[in-house]
Structure formats: structure tokens, C-alpha cells
Structure 1
């Protein structure tokens, strides 16, 4: 474990720094949490840019599915396809 790595107080597994622009979904919104899980596992984070927030992030599983289909068809990396505001 690195010096800057922090552990979850509940399960003792390493925490993921998702960025300062992150806003957690409501506790019971399981679809939003699943969407967030896909984004985080693909390496998408919520860091602020010089012009404001983190940019576009999918908010539903259908948006995630559409972008993952696009990535498979084009060879675009998942992490890049997931943050496209509109698909070509």
C-alpha cells in the first residue's frame, strides 16, 4: 500500500479518488450507482477543469450502453467513448 493510499473504514479496501466535482447519487438509486460503477471501472473520473466541471458524464445505463456499443464498433477506448456528449 502506498503512503497516499487510503482505506475504506467499513471494508478496509483501498478507496478510489473520483475527483472534486463528484456528486454521489441518492442512496437508493441503484441504476445511478450501477452507471457510476461502469464509469469508475473504465477509469472515468470527475475532476474539475479550468472552465468548470468535469464535462459530460452518462447519467443512465442506456447512455452507457450506447457509448459502449459505439466503442466496440469503432475501436474507440471505453473511457473515451463514455465521455462523448453526442455520438457521431
Structure 2
């Protein structure tokens, strides 16, 4: 959870929650990677634009290039 004064962190968290991203830990590995800044959110949304990848998947994908490659295969 972001610090109370971290407005960028709270905006990022709001985007994640609105997209349906959860933070439940499955086991020992925890919930997985999540973006921590608005810049990381924007990168993933831009890379996933037009691919048909659900927002929750785009926002939890570590490698932005992986999202861009889906654009070429998701036809």
C-alpha cells in the first residue's frame, strides 16, 4: 500500500483496482508483479492498445515487449 502522501502511488493503485487486478497471494510467490508508478501503467496500456489483451493482464505483465508481440499474433 502506498504511503499516505504518495499521490502517484494511489493513482496507480486506483487504476489497478478499477481494472480488476487483485492482490491475493496464491502461495509462497505472492500476488505477482504489479506496476508501482503511473509511468509503468501508461507503458503497459500503450503497449497493449489494440491487442485485445484484457487490462488486468496488460497491467500485470512485467515485460512490455511481450505485450507488443501479442499485437502481431492476436489477429
- For the aligned pair, the TM-score class normalised by the smaller chain equals 0.7 to 0.9
Report how many aligned residue pairs link the two structures: 65
3-state secondary structure, aligned to 2:13: helix
Q: TM-score, normalised by structure 2?
A: 0.80
- Structure 1 residue aligned with 2:56: 79
The runs of 4+ residues in structure 1 deviating greater than 6 Å are: none
- Structure 1 residue aligned with 2:31: 54
3-state secondary structure, aligned to 1:39: helix
Q: TM-score, normalised by structure 1?
A: 0.69
Unaligned runs of 5+ in 2: 67-75
Larger Rg: 1
- Structure 2 residue aligned with 1:19: none
Equivalents in 2 of 1:71, 1:43: separation in Å?
16
Cα root mean square deviation, aligned: 1.0
Unaligned runs of 5+ in 1: 1-23
CA-CA distance at 1:53 after TM superposition: 1.0
Q: Which has the higher contact order (CA 8 A, sep 6+)?
A: 2
